[in-house]
Structure 1
Amino acid sequence: MFKINQYLVLLCLFFLQCNLGAFAQKSASKGITVSAKNPRNTLNLNTNWAFFRGDAKGAETVNYQDKDWASISIPHTMRLEKKHNGGNAIYQGIGWYRRYFKLDKQNQNKRITLNFEGVQMNCEVFLNGEKLTTHYGGYLGFVIDITNKVKYDNNNVLAVRVSSENDPLTPPGKPQSGLDFYYYGGIYRDVDLIVTNKLYISDPLEANKIAGGGLFITYPKVSNDKAEVTIKTHVVNQTKENKPVLLKTTIRNKEGVEVAKMSTTASFFGEKDFLQNFTVLKPKLWHPYHPYLYQVVSEIYEGKELIDVKTTKIGVRSISFKSPTGEADGFYINGKKLYLRGANRHQSYQNIGDAASNSMQYRDALQIKKGGFNAVRASHYPQSPAFLDACDEIGLLVIECEPSWQFFNK
């Protein structure tokens, strides 16, 4: 019975990843239409992709015939693989992805970006036949501004050429045969199209600022009586004129009740960091055994008009390693010692490689938590935002790693 069920699961996975035929282009050609009603629209682009494993000359062009490609969804790995531990037995090569989408003309004065959470390992991105960027590395996301490239009320063709071939300059930088884990090729994390006004709160990956970009939040002083919360919000004005801007920031508890708020105004063109300091009285502190999360609601106004809004979950806490006696004493959270019981976690799964859905990322974190652990080491690389969000929610401390061992030698 087990063998039959296992066979059916593999057959379903194969169908989902390799459903060939005209459906690939037909479903992709439907595209998407967005409304300009909301100040910020985040549209998931995970469905209706066409995929071809191998190199395909001219696959970035608008009129390329992809009707015989596989119809797939994201997250995706370029070939279904067994769960290996070394041995260099996975697909290492080129793959092409194509996706059609439409945008309403109401968005012509908006800012349009493509957000890739992770493409393994290197990729080139094209829109309507024009190369937009080359991105190296599969563990961090990247953002592409397509405001001046997109066509309205017409099909846009997004094409991505992905390479999972060995590259000594891209982390982890070692040949696949020399590693004890794999980096499975493909667009393996979420893809979003984000529509905002040209006055907006930045994306931290796109801003590329040290200790900044988007919302950078710190907790200078934390106690059971009160907590100081410092929020640096990076706002960008691309309207080509100096504008008076109001940033209204509100901290709310789990029930949606406001516990702190502040409004700051400034006139500027270009970009500006708004620094705001809050005090939360009698805070509910985040801890692995009671992982309480607040919500930070950031609103940008021009006059009385709401121009942008972002909601960010935060856990108020202090962490430190102490050695008061001159000897290693351990880890402290919120002033109290905590013995860390941790596990290492790789992002790979049987058959689908690294291409796990957000719900699978959550279940991984939940399994670690149910196993009695209060911490996890994200070996050996930055992991999915969905996994990190799950750790925040269910109560796991995270050691987030960077894949830099390739820079060390004897």
Structure 2
Amino acid sequence: MSTTPDAQLPYYEDMSPGTGGLPPRAWTAGSDAARLGLGGDWAFRLSPTATAEDESFARPDYDASGWGTVAVPGHWVLQGHGAPIYTNVLYPFPVDPPRVPTENPTGDHRRVFDLPEDWPADGGAVLRFEGVESCARVWLNGQELGVFKGSRLPHEFAVGELLRPSGNVLAVRVHQWSSGTYLEDQDQWWLPGIFREVTLLHRPADAVTDFFVHASYDHASGEGTLRVDAEPGGRVTVPELGLDLATGESATVAVEPWTAETPRLYEATLATGGERVALRVGFRTVVVEDGVIKVNGERVLFRGVNRHEFHPETGRAVDLETMRQDLVLMKRHNINAVRTSHYPPHPAFLDLCDELGLWVIDECDLETHGFVDLGWRGNPVDDDRWTPALVDRARRMVERDKNHASVVMWSLGNECGTGRGLTAMADWIRERDPSRVIHYEGDMSCADTDVYSRMYAPHEEVDQIGQRTEAAWADAELDAKRRALPFILCEYAHAMGNGPGGLSDYQRLFETHERCQGGFVWEWIDHGIAKRTAEGELFYGYGGDFGEELHDGNFVCDGLLFPDRTPSPGLIEYKKVIEPVRIEGDGAAGTLRITNTHDFADLSHLTFSWAYEAEGVEVGGGELAVPPLAPGESADLKLPDRPATGTGGEALWTVRALLAADTAWAEAGHEVAWGQIPATTPTAPAASGGVLAPRREDGALVLGPGAFDPATGALLSLGGLAVTGPRLDVWRAPTDNDNGAPWQPDERYGLIWRTLGLHRLHHRVDAVEVADDALTVRTRVAPAATDVGLETVYRWTADTDADRLRLTVSVTPLGEWTCPLPRLGVRLGVPAALGRAEWFGGGPGEAYPDTHAASRIGRWALSVDEMQTPYVRPQENGARADVRWARLTDDGGAGIAVEGAPPFWFTARRWTTEQLDAAEHTPDLSPSADTVWVNLDHGQQGIGSQSCGPGVLPPYRLGAAPAEFSFAFSRI
């Protein structure tokens, strides 16, 4: 800790939240008072330090013609001035609170503006900043207005007496680092700048200074009670409800309540003597009752995500269209809740949550995670000198966002340890707004909270928590208090790279235990920053790509969306896992069960369809009559009569729940949920007739359509088509979850596999045996420098009356294996021209043992290129599950077909696994000019969530054990 007295600290290092600003107040998007947006191109000058004494740039007559420009809202480091920095926990400078480095990039901004001709001459005006990182000093027309900190919170200054009709000069000095930075260590890019709007607001006489909408709902009576407190007083009208009442006066009327499933809003107006403010009122009541969070009397289940504000080109400067895009995508993927990690979002985002319907945990702009490795020494949260700044942040959040129906919890912050400052924040919030739940994850005693919140608790512990039998943590009284609270996972299922796995297992626990009220996947979007190679190819940069001294690599790319907002396989999986309608049945009995798992909505907003599919081809379908089940209700129905197919083979029913009418977030026909019910049992491909004997021909061993190397037994061609392999393969390019987090060393399988040498196996041929009915190749497959291995036997046969070559692979582990295998199967290479894939099995997207809920059995067709998943950091991807047969063909339809018994995992790509493993970014992958590499796997290791959360659950681990599997190959 520095010994410099606080009074001698420069303003950007002082621990106070700022000077000269107005008190915080409610935000509104609609008012009849004039406003002028000051966004656009601003003159900009960057200095390497904050110590420059020159403040002349704030004078109206200063000549800034030699400066550059930046767009506001925006971040200067994304506009060619300096570079972004990514750290997860570490402060990127020496920890000496409240001091910051001399090397403190400082951006001077100037904006010259005229007032509109119709700008009112009477009344005052307010200059409002929605967000500036991290400290700003402001001048208007040469007059200093003040200083503020708190990057993701609004700040206002009274400026009416300073305005001129034209030539107004707004000058803002922004420091990248300040004392406020110690409170904003939030696992994200460090991106300085004026990144939210700057607005001039006219404030007429008797304008609304602040207002607080209280709109509760009594589920027993079906009535809502409305009271609006305002300063100054006025009247509130709600035409649809026939209400016209004075501010401060209460009225109780019959209403439709607001929920995330039924986001009913009533248009209202607050009028004072000088201003009319548009309101949208949602009636709802939030309580903790009997150890459960209830809204309008009903338990809620949060199917949530954590959302940082991010755009790959503009950083945290996110426009309204992108905000809406995010929320529409959430609604279309059955997500009903957002935690605004780890700061209040742009206020317009909450308006959209009100409108579209999402539960919101509104989180304060507070995180001090960088103190954890210091044993929390000097943590501002437990230092009384910082308490005013902490309470100011809580106050600004609550006052700004208090009128949003969607906000059901206030969160004190994230990963701040514990301390007196948090208690002061909680006390202030409870006094100001007792109508919501208070959340904070980092204190196991739950001293200041109404909910028990955890991050990444493993499934077994969540099960115990659900039963209120979790391990004791503190004294009996505190443990009893905590066990009485509802439980949420404020972060779980770390969505980094390929994954997350284990979602279905979590969801079963949430649905089993009343106390477990769901969770929030970490997180919504990969924070990859758009970059281009020298050749112009787009890719996304992560930590270390911008010359940072310290960084945390691609840990910033851990979302359900790719940076361009394309849904990842993880989001498709999550949608299926959390779908609000459960569809089950018994194909043999011809019965179907539909269960409504909504919290509030019945099923009248959905229609249901059925399809009967034989060998992946729909041969019948129609509408299905389902009653408008209330939440929690089930109905048992009779499936339609099976259509006559005449094709035999495998068949199944697919039942879908679809929107019956257009909504604000999707059109009629949008699929909300689906289920598949087997109608027949899959059968293994049958041998036809007898078998052929191997023969020697032109220096090769020939068996049916296959030609083999007589010395090694390797397949060389199939029906004249050149083939490389197949041979045993157990390696996959480790996923982020395989590699695990450094603080979870026990099951970091990617590292274990690499240390063992599974990426560099040796294949020793022990025997090539030719018999009348088969070609048998005996091998030992093992890594160097160890005595473990896999005894592998390939047995080849060919049918006499079919142009089909059969392979049975038997694998026996040798030695003492102490880890699971990445995969178990064979890899082969086929000509590059075979770039079209078709298969019958799971699809259309990738799946792995613990990420296959969304894998739908059907007949699918994609190009090999389309089968790849473009993870920001390349890794294992693209497997299709439960495949019965697959084909790879050229543009003319010629190629190779594979059948498997049992069903197999199918992967095809234009680079080897080794090349995939070596790549750091997508442009590092160069397609092979001559080969498509194909993996046909008997087994795959699960994915898990161990890039930050739990590893692969036991049922999904691929243990080294004896195995046998078969494939049939043919030319087409």
Q: TM-score, normalised by structure 1?
A: 0.71
Does 1:222 pair with 2:221? no
Pick aligned residue for 2:74 from 53, 73, 76: 76
Does 1:319 pair with 2:306? no
Does 1:247 pair with 2:219? no
Pick aligned residue for 2:139 from 111, 126, 129: 126
**1:243 corresponds to:** none
Rounded Cα–Cα distance in structure 1 between residues aligned with 2:359 and 2:208? 28
Does 1:386 pair with 2:399? no
Q: How many residues of Structure 1 are paired with residues of Structure 2 in the alignment?
A: 321
Rounded Cα–Cα distance in structure 1 between residues aligned with 2:281 and 2:359? 14
- Answer with 390-399 or 100-109: which moved more: 100-109
CA, structure 1 residues 133+228, in 2 after alignment: closer, same or farther (shift >3 Å)? same
Rounded Cα–Cα distance in structure 1 between residues aligned with 2:111 and 2:241? 42
Rounded Cα–Cα distance in structure 1 between residues aligned with 2:358 and 2:285? 15
Report if the CA contact (8 A) 1:39-1:197 is conserved.
no
**2:333 corresponds to:** 371
Rounded Cα–Cα distance in structure 1 between residues aligned with 2:234 and 2:337? 35
CA, structure 1 residues 54+298, in 2 after alignment: closer, same or farther (shift >3 Å)? same
Q: State the shift of 1:220 in Å.
A: 4.3
SS across alignment from 1:114: strand
SS across alignment from 1:201: coil
SS across alignment from 1:40: coil
Q: State the shift of 1:377 in Å.
A: 0.9
Rounded Cα–Cα distance in structure 1 between residues aligned with 2:356 and 2:40? 29
**CA offset digits 1:91-141 (Å, max 9, x no partner):** 962112211122359734321111111111110010111111101111110
**CA offset digits 1:318-363 (Å, max 9, x no partner):** 122222xxxx4x3322112221111111113323221111222222
**CA offset digits 1:347-405 (Å, max 9, x no partner):** 13323221111222222222233232111111111111021112111111111112444
Alpha-carbon RMSD across the aligned residues, in angstroms, is 2.7
**2:162 corresponds to:** 149
CA, structure 1 residues 405+85, in 2 after alignment: closer, same or farther (shift >3 Å)? closer
CA, structure 1 residues 373+83, in 2 after alignment: closer, same or farther (shift >3 Å)? farther
Rounded Cα–Cα distance in structure 2 between residues aligned with 1:287 and 1:145? 38
Does 1:96 pair with 2:108? yes
Q: Which amino acid aligns with 1:261?
A: D
**CA offset digits 1:295-332 (Å, max 9, x no partner):** 2201123xxxxx21111222111122222xxxx4x332
Rounded Cα–Cα distance in structure 1 between residues aligned with 2:135 and 2:345? 17
Q: State the shift of 1:84 in Å.
A: 4.3
Report if the CA contact (8 A) 1:83-1:350 is conserved.
no
**CA offset digits 1:29-72 (Å, max 9, x no partner):** xxxxxxxxx96112222224222333783221112222243444
Q: Which amino acid aligns with 1:279?
A: T
CA, structure 1 residues 53+370, in 2 after alignment: closer, same or farther (shift >3 Å)? farther
Q: Which amino acid aligns with 1:170?
A: G
Rounded Cα–Cα distance in structure 2 between residues aligned with 1:403 and 1:72? 25
Rounded Cα–Cα distance in structure 1 between residues aligned with 2:32 and 2:349? 28
SS across alignment from 1:389: helix
Q: State the shift of 1:258 in Å.
A: 5.1
Rounded Cα–Cα distance in structure 2 between residues aligned with 1:113 and 1:72? 24
**CA offset digits 1:186-241 (Å, max 9, x no partner):** 11111111113122101xxxxxxxxxxx2211234433632101110111xxxxxx
**1:267 corresponds to:** none
Pick aligned residue for 2:297 from 335, 338, 353: 335
Q: Unmatched 5+ residue regions in structure 2?
A: 1-30, 94-102, 369-380, 382-415, 419-972
Q: Which amino acid aligns with 2:346?
A: S
**1:180 corresponds to:** 187
**1:292 corresponds to:** 264
SS across alignment from 2:58: coil
Report if the CA contact (8 A) 1:39-1:196 is conserved.
no
Aligned residues with identical type, % of pairs: 25
CA, structure 1 residues 136+89, in 2 after alignment: closer, same or farther (shift >3 Å)? closer
CA, structure 1 residues 73+312, in 2 after alignment: closer, same or farther (shift >3 Å)? farther
**1:361 corresponds to:** 323
**2:643 corresponds to:** none
Q: Unmatched 5+ residue regions in structure 1?
A: 1-37, 203-213, 236-245, 265-273, 302-306
Rounded Cα–Cα distance in structure 2 between residues aligned with 1:227 and 1:409? 39
Q: TM-score, normalised by structure 2?
A: 0.31
Q: State the shift of 1:147 in Å.
A: 1.2
Q: Which amino acid aligns with 2:67?
A: W
Rounded Cα–Cα distance in structure 1 between residues aligned with 2:139 and 2:303? 45
CA, structure 1 residues 63+377, in 2 after alignment: closer, same or farther (shift >3 Å)? same
SS across alignment from 1:112: strand
Does 1:170 pair with 2:180? yes
**CA offset digits 1:258-277 (Å, max 9, x no partner):** 53111x4xxxxxxxxx4121
CA, structure 1 residues 106+321, in 2 after alignment: closer, same or farther (shift >3 Å)? closer
CA, structure 1 residues 334+147, in 2 after alignment: closer, same or farther (shift >3 Å)? same
Q: State the shift of 1:82 in Å.
A: 6.6
CA, structure 1 residues 142+292, in 2 after alignment: closer, same or farther (shift >3 Å)? same
Q: State the shift of 1:247 in Å.
A: 1.7
Rounded Cα–Cα distance in structure 2 between residues aligned with 1:123 and 1:352? 20
Larger RCO: 1 or 2 (CA < 8 Å, sep 6+): 1
**2:244 corresponds to:** 261
**1:47 corresponds to:** 40
Rounded Cα–Cα distance in structure 2 between residues aligned with 1:182 and 1:48? 23
Rounded Cα–Cα distance in structure 2 between residues aligned with 1:93 and 1:83? 13
Does 1:114 pair with 2:81? no
Rounded Cα–Cα distance in structure 2 between residues aligned with 1:54 and 1:350? 25
CA, structure 1 residues 259+93, in 2 after alignment: closer, same or farther (shift >3 Å)? farther
**1:278 corresponds to:** 251
Rounded Cα–Cα distance in structure 2 between residues aligned with 1:380 and 1:106? 38
Rounded Cα–Cα distance in structure 2 between residues aligned with 1:83 and 1:163? 15
SS across alignment from 1:363: helix
Q: Which amino acid aligns with 2:63?
A: Q
SS across alignment from 1:365: helix
**2:200 corresponds to:** 193
Report if the CA contact (8 A) 2:215-2:281 is conserved.
no
Rounded Cα–Cα distance in structure 1 between residues aligned with 2:320 and 2:300? 29
Report if the CA contact (8 A) 2:123-2:205 is conserved.
yes
Pick aligned residue for 2:173 from 161, 177, 188: 161
Report if the CA contact (8 A) 1:120-1:185 is conserved.
yes
Report if the CA contact (8 A) 2:74-2:317 is conserved.
yes
**1:232 corresponds to:** 229
Report if the CA contact (8 A) 2:287-2:294 is conserved.
yes
Report if the CA contact (8 A) 2:222-2:256 is conserved.
no
SS across alignment from 1:275: coil
Rounded Cα–Cα distance in structure 1 between residues aligned with 2:92 and 2:358? 33
Rounded Cα–Cα distance in structure 2 between residues aligned with 1:75 and 1:114? 15
Report if the CA contact (8 A) 2:259-2:357 is conserved.
yes
Q: Which amino acid aligns with 1:288?
A: A
Report if the CA contact (8 A) 1:341-1:375 is conserved.
yes
Rounded Cα–Cα distance in structure 1 between residues aligned with 2:104 and 2:316? 14
Report if the CA contact (8 A) 1:116-1:190 is conserved.
yes
SS across alignment from 1:341: strand
